[in-house]
Amino acid sequence: MAIKLNTRAFDYAKELVLTGRAVFDGRDAWSEHQPSAEKENEFIRAHGFHEYGKWHLGVDDEFAEDTKRRYKFPYGDFKDVHRCAVLSAESRAGQYKHYDIENAAAHLHGMIDAASKAA
């Protein structure tokens, strides 16, 4: 597997956090907040894979751009960045030694925590 950091998604996530579109939720909330497969498919039908990819910190170049399998490490619900998703991405990326993605998620984690303290 050739999974690498999706810099376009990372930049988009940072922009979302800076503009207040981050949800400060608990570590284990991602299973409840994660979009269902049906919601993902609706989003893809409405916006395409290019926009879908912006919501994933990882890209697996072994899969075609127009497949869901290409995009890894989601960080939000197609509206906001979720702290729980970022924490999950940070943990899983470290576990599988995708250190560039782990570092990006850690950066987002810090941004979200700082924003919540400033609010």
Q: What is the mean pLDDT of residues 77-105?
A: 97
Least confident among 42-51, 65-74, 110-119 = 110-119
pLDDT at residue 119 is higher than 90 = no
Average pLDDT, the chain: 96
Q: What is the pTM of this model?
A: 0.95
CA 112/CA 107 separation, integer angstroms: 9
CA 92/CA 84 separation, integer angstroms: 12
Using one digit for the tens of pLDDT, what is the confidence trace for 20-29? 999 999 888 9
pLDDT at residue 1 is higher than 80 = no
Sketch the domain layout of the chain as residue ranges: 3-118
CA 26/CA 60 separation, integer angstroms: 28
Tell me how far CA of residue 80 lies from CA of 13, 27, 93, in angstroms: 9, 16, 21
Stretch (H or E) spanning 74: strand 71-74
CA 56/CA 115 separation, integer angstroms: 21
Tokens of 77: 């619900």
Q: What is the mean pLDDT of residues 51-58?
A: 98
pLDDT band at 93 (very low <50, low <70, confident <90, very high): very high
